[in-house]
Amino acid sequence: MRRKMPGSHYLVIARRFRGPPQSGNGGYTCGMLAAAASAPVEIRLMKPPPLDKPLEIREDKEKGQLLLVDGEETVASAVPKTFELAVPKPPAYAEALAAIKHFTGFRAHAYPSCFVCGPERTRGDGMRIFASPIEGRELVAAAWLPDASLGAADGKVLPEFMWASLDCPGFFACGGGVSGALLGTYAARVHRCVHVGEPCVVVGWEISREGRKHFTGTAVFDERGELCGRAIATWIEPKPGAGS
């Protein structure tokens, strides 16, 4: 939820939209902040976004960025960025749906109550995007049927949920479901919001890695197989022995 207070803009991340148990889902949080920007941006998460409290959106004109602030602590920054991303052909919806039986998160999941990919979340509460390996392909894919709670008055999914849908498939593409990797930077481009109840496919793949950093791409397609959005992200594994 975004709201305006005298002289300031604030957003509140409701507990429903959590990723880890006590912080906001990264893709959703980034989508909410991106909505306040006047141009395409890349967002860097600096600390776990807190839940159920007003977070101020400040403009830093000197550095040309937006800041999401909790008191005097910066939660995230958004800077102008465009990107190019070659997107692989998606599997069919039926193939992505059948692959759910291989979803690693059913056996081990660092954040099982995540709004986007948590198996503990029921339909109508979580998004239930279970990105799973596709045989013979170097990617993961999820069948996604957006429910009515994600929609605007025109029947299309709200942009922040499009951003959220493009988040966790990258998490599973780089093995984050087990390691508990956290989102570092994220940039998404939504070309068209899909409709509520439309059978969609979301894919994720690893582009490269550098030590504990993983660089991933994700994309979402509508029921006709047309590309509706894409994203790039950096995921960072916890240091060995560190708690998630």
Residue 244 lies in a domain: no
Residues 143 and 185 in one domain: yes
Residues 23 and 62 in one domain: yes
Residues 22 and 102 in one domain: no
Q: How far is CA 114 from the centre of its chain?
A: 11
Residue 129 lies in a domain: yes
Mean pLDDT in each 10-residue stretch from start to end of the chain (244 residues)?
A: 54 97 97 94 97 96 93 96 96 97 94 97 97 96 98 97 97 82 95 98 96 95 98 90 50
The Cα–Cα gap between 67 and 74 comes to 7
Structure tokens at 219: 């994309």
Residue linked to tokens 């759910």: 100
pLDDT for 180: 81
Residue 19 lies in a domain: yes
pLDDT for 242: 53
pLDDT for 8: 59
Structure tokens at 118: 């948590």
Question: Which 8-state DSSP code applies to residue 69?
Answer: E
The Cα–Cα gap between 74 and 50 comes to 11
Pairing of strands 140-144, 182-190: unpaired
Residues 156 and 207 in one domain: yes
Contact by Cβ (8 Å): 213, 235:
yes
Residue 138 lies in a domain: yes
Contact by Cβ (8 Å): 130, 119:
yes
Residues 172 and 114 in one domain: yes
Residue 103 lies in a domain: yes
Quote the number of domains for the chain. 2
Residues 66 and 102 in one domain: no
Of the CA atoms within 13 Å of residue 6, those in its CB half-sphere come to 0
Domain boundaries, position 66 = 2-80
Q: Of 51, 80, 109, which residue sits at a domain end?
A: 80
